[in-house]
Structure 1
Amino acid sequence: MTAGTLYLIPCPISDQTDPWDVLPAANRAVMDALDYFIVENTRTAWRFLSRAGIARPIDGLEFRELNEHTVAGREVEELVAPIAAGRSAGVISEAGVPGVADPGALVVEACHRRGIRVVPLVGPSSILLAVMASGLNGQSFAFNGYLPVKPAERSRAIRFFERRAHAEGQSQLFIEAPYRNAKLFGELLQTLAQETRLTVAVDLTAPSESVITRTVGEWRRGPLPELNKRPAIFIIG
């Protein structure tokens, strides 16, 4: 029996964006052909596919969740079993591209172990968009996820990434839960050296999008952006 294909389907980063303003038209044919979706959040995926106007009725589709609560091993293998049996599937993250800073990587890895074809579709990645617009080093950069929550550990991490940025010229990216953005930004301005460059990329692809790169000294002297509850990426360079 021929296995199906796993498609990695990007979705808009912002709820304020029409899907077809940021996705290529070629993705529509793939989305229209699928009836099995492995998603980070069923309600979010349902809303995305509905706004995208896919051909199939939404209530006739099968959604299986793969998120931070999914246990690697048997649960992931159960998600892959229909694909191995010949049924193609699409992976949808809550925002942006699946498999990057996203639990969808688990099902991708399982498909590779089984020899199942994995096809990434084109779409918006907040990480790449932030690097593109930052003016910092796009030849060498690292995405570090979330910084530690405890203040002492967080300060050490900030200093570590700053040293790496200066010593290696490697741009250092990280994110925070939107409701903690302002606190993190304040800690960055307090901890980083005055000449270190810091990019703050907010609401990417939304009408309120803002990407600003300044030295820490310039950030300290100027008005600070409102970051509370706005998706953001921070880059040290």
Structure 2
Amino acid sequence: MSVASPIGKPSFDPALQAARQAAGPQHYPAGALYVVATPIGNLADITLRALHVLALADAIACEDTRHTQPLLRAYGIDGKPLLALHEHNEAEAAQAVIERLRRGERVACVSDAGTPAVSDPGARLVAACAAAGLRVVPLPGASSVTAAISAAGLAEGSFVFAGFLPAKAGERQAAVAVLAREPRAVVLLEAPHRIAALAEALAALGERRVTVARELTKQFEQIATLPCAGLPAWLAADAQRQRGEFALVLHTGSAAPPEDESDRVLKLLLAELPLKTAVRLAAELTGAPRNGLYERALALKAAGRPP
């Protein structure tokens, strides 16, 4: 996810000084990889410890050097060697980082925005360092996942992280069919050029609620909660709503058991009747909860069934 340019070029000199005072006395071992979270939109969402480590590091492994260089300069940090580490070269780049660590250097790992190794490069590097017996130090900070969860109002608190669903339509629909039977909340990420396709796929989940968070922490941040069935229309109502990076939270749902009597009855009715009618009759015949039957019916439709 991209980070907005600083408005009015604010000075982070006081923050750097505060970082040295607050984080400087801590121990930062040499020969360690520091996994550093950076802002997802608002430059002020950098931690004091992150600033200190970025200034202390001997080199910085980053997803895109063209992005990280101006980010560091905005914070008043310059002259650091930048090592490109992205999805296409991570295995090779990891070995170069390991060589530096074995020489006793401190290397910071950052992604374009947010926490590395969470739907961003970094996981292979961390695994390679751990396999080599080298220390990995995480520096927590900004995350679109936790930001979206905190704004979704999930009273139950339980969620799973699914990240980006497959780009191909058939695979995406199959993934949504699996999500239809997931009773916990689910966090998804999506890019602007694919959000409309994702919305169409999620519409199959009907009345299950979804919180859409776009441009989190940026000037035009927008957060809305609505039924999945209404998501395509919500996006289409304003062209601006399809711009920016997205984090979505599918709220908790109830899933019917896979092959019990209510499932068998539902499949038989769906073969002959419209979805809502089949669900209503299945609930009356079996006594199963209508909400669970409705989500199960949507899953069957999305998967291309019933036979």
Residue matched to 2:168? 150
Is structure 2 residue 63 aligned with structure 1 residue 40?
Answer: yes
Higher RCO (C-alpha 8 Å, min separation 6):
1
- 1:71–1:9: structure 2 CA closer, same or farther, 3 Å change rule? closer
Percent identity over the alignment?
Answer: 33
Is structure 2 residue 34 aligned with structure 1 residue 7?
Answer: yes
Q: Which segment is superposed worse, 174-183 or 198-207?
A: 174-183
Distance 2:36 2:121 in 1: 14
Pairs within 5 Å for 1:7-156 = 7-14=34-41, 17=42, 19=43, 21-54=44-77, 58=78, 60-70=79-89, 72=91, 74-136=92-154, 139-156=157-174
- 1:221–1:103: structure 2 CA closer, same or farther, 3 Å change rule? closer
Is structure 2 residue 215 aligned with structure 1 residue 192?
Answer: no
Deviation at 1:187, TM superposition (A): 3.1
The DSSP-based 3-state class of the residue aligned with 1:136 is coil
- 1:219–1:79: structure 2 CA closer, same or farther, 3 Å change rule? closer
Deviation at 1:52, TM superposition (A): 1.3
Distance 1:46 1:91 in 2: 13
Q: Is the 8 A contact 2:189 2:248 kept in 1?
A: yes
Distance 1:92 1:10 in 2: 6
Deviation at 1:48, TM superposition (A): 1.0
Distance 1:222 1:111 in 2: 45
Residue matched to 2:221? 209
Residue matched to 1:178? 192
The DSSP-based 3-state class of the residue aligned with 1:101 is coil
- 1:92–1:76: structure 2 CA closer, same or farther, 3 Å change rule? same
The DSSP-based 3-state class of the residue aligned with 1:139 is coil
Higher helix share: 2
Distance 1:75 1:42 in 2: 13
Q: Is the 8 A contact 1:135 1:213 kept in 2?
A: no
Aligned partner (choices 173, 180, 184) of residue 162 of structure 1: 180
Deviation at 1:130, TM superposition (A): 0.7
Deviation at 1:71, TM superposition (A): 5.2
Distance 1:65 1:221 in 2: 40
TM-score by length of 2: 0.66
- 1:203–1:26: structure 2 CA closer, same or farther, 3 Å change rule? same
Distance 1:222 1:154 in 2: 20
Deviation at 1:196, TM superposition (A): 0.5
- 1:119–1:138: structure 2 CA closer, same or farther, 3 Å change rule? farther
Higher strand share: 1
Distance 2:81 2:155 in 1: 42
Aligned letter for 1:29?
A: H
TM-score by length of 1: 0.84
Q: Is the 8 A contact 1:97 1:125 kept in 2?
A: yes
Deviation at 1:114, TM superposition (A): 2.2
Q: Is the 8 A contact 2:33 2:107 kept in 1?
A: yes
Count of residue pairs brought into register by the alignment? 221
**C-alpha deviations, 1:160-208, integer Å up to 9, x for none?**
10211xxxx311122222222123223322x112x20111111111121
**C-alpha deviations, 1:69-108, integer Å up to 9, x for none?**
1152x54222211112200010010111112112211111
Q: Which runs of 5+ in 2 are unaligned?
A: 1-28, 252-307
- Structure showing greater radius of gyration is 2
Q: Is the 8 A contact 1:182 1:227 kept in 2?
A: no
Distance 2:47 2:156 in 1: 24
Deviation at 1:145, TM superposition (A): 2.2
Distance 1:222 1:34 in 2: 45
The DSSP-based 3-state class of the residue aligned with 1:22 is coil
Deviation at 1:31, TM superposition (A): 1.5
Q: Which runs of 5+ in 1 are unaligned?
A: none
